[in-house]
Amino acid sequence: MKTLIVGSRDSALAVAQAMTVVRALQEKLPHTEVRLLTMKTTGDRILDRTLDQVGGKGLFVKELDAALRDRRADLTVHSLKDVPMEVPEDLPLLGFSRREDPRDVLVLRSGADAPEAEQPIGSASLRRSLQLKKLFPGFEVKPVRGNLQTRLRKLDEGQYGALVLAAAGLKRLGLESRISRYFSPEEMIPAAGQGILAIQGRAGEEHPWLEELTDPDATAAALCERAFARTLGGGCTSPVCAYARPEGDRIHLTGLYWEESSGRWTTGEDWDERSRAEALGFRLAERLRNESFREGNI
């Protein structure tokens, strides 16, 4: 029997996500043994510093890239928001899953109905921290690292008064009941690709069955959002973020541009045909950058 190895990070969330792909492949390929290979990445090991201090989100994929190159894995599964904007030519992204809820959410300790002003709000990214300061002026926002369960434990132990997390991760682990408030994409623009799973493999290898696992709406959104972030140098340590919403033959994009030299930021939105998703991402990114410099509005 042929064997197909799917690689994943070894966190509970990463495994739960990868298993959705494994189960789908087992159904599509009844004569193939589909197995999961898990590993701890550099990003999982270094928890005492924020991602921007240790090299960015690429630390979550490099061990998995190595597993593909030395053929210990045939495919790998990632949260798309953790995949660097520049993907190696020999390891292309092959498909994108149906999008889970892309929103960010507020998580409080049991019994609380609002963040506690005396305690910091935990945020794992500069993107969230920037937008939180507008939503909760006067509150301290403090970095929080670790897997989802570790962050929740730190909250419940009283190290934080609230956390901001991705709705997708909580829902995939059956922890939706921990959600106290959903932030609309207008209140807090999600990370590019948030809620989408990416399947990565080796260039030149054919996987015709992957087409059935790929969602057209998620694909259009992924291409649009990543084009925006890539144009502005986002994706690793930058808070540049974007959210695309396909509607029929059209697609709507909201994006955030951050100027590193001043630390100021601005947002904007635009529409285009779905077939021009990547062009839309590029165009809005260039427009925000040019307008900001011309008008001095950030």
**Is 90 among the residues known to form the active site?**
no
Judging by beta carbons within 10 Å of its beta carbon (0-12, 13-18, 19+), is residue 262 exposed, middle or buried? Answer: exposed
Mark 267-278 as b/e (b = at least 16 C-beta within 10 Å).
eeebebebebbb
21: phi then psi, degrees, rounded to nearest 5: -75, -45
Which residues, 6+ apart, have CB-to-CB distance to 70 below 8 Å?
none
Instruction: Catalytic residue, from 44, 65, 74, 82: name it.
Output: 82
Query: Do residues 194 and 81 touch, judged by C-beta distance below 8 A?
Result: yes
Distance CA 49, CA 126 (A): 13
In 3D space, the residue among 175, 52, 169, 48 whose CA is nearest the CA of residue 110 turns out to be 175
Question: What radius of gyration do the chain's Cα atoms show?
Answer: 19
What 3-state DSSP class applies to 76? strand
Annotated catalytic residues are 82
